[in-house]
Structure 1
């Protein structure tokens, strides 16, 4: 109990220090972001074209925001066509029909209007003319890779109030699906609509809301304007002086480094190999109180990490000058988790067995999160959604070989460069004997067996080369489809295993794939889970603490039984 109290007090002290770093108040920022979410979330809508003949929504979803009780919806011109029918879905799941109204392709502004009569939740329009560089802003829209019917929250700031093309440039991350989604000032007012991106993660371009004010009369008519229509005078913002510049927001990570030194001690670098591929990832130090008797952990430490990025013989970097070999205790392939044991006692760690697990609810959206990065400080992000699932990606498992039947034998005819087979140093002419113990008798057998596996699964191949049998353990990878959109080509890229999770948390941390496996905390020191994947340009994923707790308990059951057996044997010997 004393140990638990000490941990909680330590984390509380860390959080208090964190919230009062220098002249920057993290708690105030978090409070303001959460307030924006409370006020604007319900007005942020999911939009899909609607086929009135088949009476169903069709593909090509995008985002928008309701800005008045009459049901006017602002969105992007590249997604909206005048006169077309659309289905509007509110975050509570209620659906209504809307008609496309005016669009101005030149500045990408467009409007729709809900056809039914009703009283709609809405967010008021702000004034883009009131914006200044380094003002914080919040995006609430529907990124396509998340595929959730509730919007995802992201935090950013104004990087440019007006580009050469007339857009706002912000750091609120966006991707396909977000088009037309709203960006809000810290008073919960719409200041821009998502339009396009560039390669840099800081290049997110928004349609200024003043354009909708300026061309309101034209946009309320179902027409497409090749030339700018007649404009009206835009009044001044009566609350302009209440919007505050926050220069520190561009360097949140730097401002939060020092006070989180204790939390950083729960994150370690791991190295291992899979075939000839070197793997690097982070690990999270946990304490097994509540799962194992104290006698079983006197000289041991335990870490959690991302299973698909940890080989069978990982090395833990304990310090700049010291490393230790870790033993794999258990793997959870469904959640891509691995539990490791190190025969070295490390200080601190998360007392996972004594944490009371709370579910994430709507009121938590917008909370500030921190991801400790060993040697690199911390990464600050914002909680974007409640727990959700990420469906299995469209890319099938892939090994990278083509086979032919030759003289009654299934042999490798070709090997794709940079594929798992190439990494495993397979050669053309190698005979394939079995796949995970199942005989391969013809060229189609391998494909049929592969269909049951997903990217990041590890399989065992038995082969023969020049009459000499041998085995290869190979980690499968996804077969990448053509992804030419710039959203898929951002710096650092996505994790290889990033889909097929039944319960994850989403945040907008710009995690490198090699920086997954580490812990995710709130600024109050609360442990939220393990960063498990960089899903996309906008989103990183974390496995929630409740899922982790269950996995660790199951994995340590065998060790606990062994520890109790050893204790019983020792006790009996002493008694005799």
Structure 2
């Protein structure tokens, strides 16, 4: 065998090295492209969200002796490792102590410091500072400069609406609408409601630029206390006193070293709407004599069948689909009361989501903050962000009623008037009937039945033991819901109102797209056109609930054999 020269071997090795490097780069590039195709659109990087989230806290006042909660919950943000907290004045009282709940479940104690309010009617400028008690360092978010923001720049908020039954901050995104209004507030489109007061508004770099103060009656108009107002009165706010006039001693605001970077981010164009042929199907039906309107999503299944999913509690008898001035009869296939889903079928084929192309992955926490699009009827869309990953959404107790008047007569709570077609009437109860027991428990007095009714809620079915004349009888009653009058707060000014069924779901994710209650049943996609879930409820001013795609897929699998 003729030996190769050293020069030849080095040359050959170099050629192989070049080829190997090219192959690696090509493979890596394809891999990266594949990853980019799978990555949903984000306007705010996840790393920035995570840093901001760790410092965003929930608080409520506590009794100094018992430690029990004695105030409504509100929000705040830690802005220094020493535990300095920024919040708003209308939620605090100098010198008082407050329980602090962190996103990871840990708890602490904070003391309210300075509170600056020069107008007692409006609480303006609504500035307050607090301080964590105990040893740090504490997780914190950097303070930005409200002077360097500009209109239409991206922003986002992380705070705790009191209507949501979680100790997890709800992420909402928006834009700066006004850098400064006539009252000294920043206006943003990052929506808020009660409980969000004192929560932070962040710029695109994840720095605190404002604190949530109040909202307007119109959706999407929100007012924030500029962070520069805290900077300029910082030393005065570190003392636990009420300040009734603007301090004469001020602190230097300084300049923003990242102003140019923030300006460049502000010029970045928003994500384009994803391309898709899928749209919602308008559905009309009759429920309790009323016309009901809702949306639905069509799915093409593996057996060449098509099924339409919608919100079950909003679909009554004889449903029809209405598209392009044409109507198509729909047949009810199955109702899933647990998830409030209904499966419908039609002889007509609608633009549909292909079930086989839906990923088996659910909606993991790693997707927090991705941009979402709800596909509505007539090619309309609403966008928002994934604000909270899938959670078990508990039942929100609503008082139940017999829909009858009662008075204690001869030792028994006795029906004196029964509403026509009300709960008591439907159960066969009449005026003059005396209630002896509910679910086997003695309620034979006004005090006893009043105490017992506090344990039951609208929709509960009760066994009623009652006396009619000298005869003792039994029946079942399904309690109706009290027609509670909504608080006139602007947060309750929601077009089309809240969904009637908006709680008690096994798993839902939460977003801020402000869909109307009659737009439930519509599909949600990400920036790549991937199916994410189905809108199922308008819960509150800020929160919309959606069934995640893995739950939808499980439901589709369970009904496939019915087709």
TM-score normalised over the length of structure 2:
0.78
2:417–2:431 Cα contact (<8 Å) kept: no
SS of 1:174's partner is: coil
1:477–1:496 Cα contact (<8 Å) kept: no
Aligned to 2:549: 545
> Structure 1 residue 483: deviation in Å?
2.0
2:235, 2:255 → 1: CA distance?
Answer: 18
**Equivalent runs, 1:371-386 vs 2, <5 Å:** 371-386=374-389
Query: Are 1:260 and 2:275 an aligned pair?
Result: yes
1:308–1:457 Cα contact (<8 Å) kept: no
Query: Are 1:286 and 2:299 an aligned pair?
Result: yes
Among residues 296, 304, 311, which one is paired with 2:316 in the alignment? 311
Cα RMSD (Å) of the superposition? 3.6
CA 1:104–1:431: 2 relative to 1, 3 Å: closer
Aligned to 1:232: 251
Aligned to 1:68: 80
SS of 2:53's partner is: helix
CA 1:56–1:412: 2 relative to 1, 3 Å: closer
Among residues 94, 109, 112, which one is paired with 1:100 in the alignment? 112
CA 1:277–1:78: 2 relative to 1, 3 Å: same
SS of 1:32's partner is: coil
> Structure 1 residue 440: deviation in Å?
11
Deviations 1:284-312 (CA, angstroms, capped at 9, x unpaired): 111232xxx45xx3xxx311110110003
Aligned to 1:8: none
Aligned to 2:5: none
SS of 2:278's partner is: helix
Aligned to 2:282: 269
2:159–2:169 Cα contact (<8 Å) kept: yes
2:400, 2:346 → 1: CA distance?
Answer: 32
1:531–1:542 Cα contact (<8 Å) kept: yes
2:368–2:387 Cα contact (<8 Å) kept: yes
2:332–2:342 Cα contact (<8 Å) kept: yes
**Equivalent runs, 1:282-431 vs 2, <5 Å:** 282-289=295-302, 293-294=303-304, 297=305, 301-317=306-322, 319-351=323-355, 355-396=358-399, 413=417, 415=419, 426=421
CA 1:137–1:235: 2 relative to 1, 3 Å: same
Any unmatched runs of 5+ in structure 2? 1-32, 119-124, 409-413, 441-452, 463-477
SS of 2:496's partner is: coil
1:164, 1:380 → 2: CA distance?
Answer: 30
> Structure 1 residue 342: deviation in Å?
1.2
1:103, 1:495 → 2: CA distance?
Answer: 38
> Structure 1 residue 503: deviation in Å?
1.4
CA 1:507–1:61: 2 relative to 1, 3 Å: same
> Structure 1 residue 400: deviation in Å?
5.3
Aligned to 2:260: 241
SS of 1:499's partner is: coil
CA 1:364–1:477: 2 relative to 1, 3 Å: same
Query: Are 1:500 and 2:504 an aligned pair?
Result: yes
CA 1:302–1:489: 2 relative to 1, 3 Å: same
> Structure 1 residue 329: deviation in Å?
1.3
Query: Are 1:85 and 2:97 an aligned pair?
Result: yes
Any unmatched runs of 5+ in structure 1? 1-11, 20-25, 416-420, 460-473, 561-576
CA 1:500–1:95: 2 relative to 1, 3 Å: same
1:497, 1:458 → 2: CA distance?
Answer: 17
2:437, 2:431 → 1: CA distance?
Answer: 6
CA 1:157–1:324: 2 relative to 1, 3 Å: same
Aligned to 2:151: 133
CA 1:120–1:64: 2 relative to 1, 3 Å: same
2:391–2:508 Cα contact (<8 Å) kept: yes
Which is worse superposed, 191-200 or 475-484? 475-484
2:494, 2:522 → 1: CA distance?
Answer: 22
Aligned to 1:170: 188
2:267, 2:431 → 1: CA distance?
Answer: 63
2:393, 2:99 → 1: CA distance?
Answer: 23
2:399, 2:187 → 1: CA distance?
Answer: 37
Number of residue pairs the alignment of both structures matches: 490
CA 1:146–1:193: 2 relative to 1, 3 Å: same
> Structure 1 residue 233: deviation in Å?
2.5
Among residues 194, 211, 230, which one is paired with 2:212 in the alignment? 194
Deviations 1:448-499 (CA, angstroms, capped at 9, x unpaired): 899999768999xxxxxxxxxxxxxx99666325423221123332111112
**Equivalent runs, 1:136-155 vs 2, <5 Å:** 136-155=154-173
Aligned to 2:3: none
1:183–1:192 Cα contact (<8 Å) kept: yes
Deviations 1:108-128 (CA, angstroms, capped at 9, x unpaired): 111111111122111110001
> Structure 1 residue 96: deviation in Å?
1.1
CA 1:551–1:476: 2 relative to 1, 3 Å: farther
2:426, 2:380 → 1: CA distance?
Answer: 48
CA 1:281–1:455: 2 relative to 1, 3 Å: farther
TM-score normalised over the length of structure 1:
0.77
SS of 2:91's partner is: coil
> Structure 1 residue 393: deviation in Å?
2.5
1:192, 1:214 → 2: CA distance?
Answer: 14
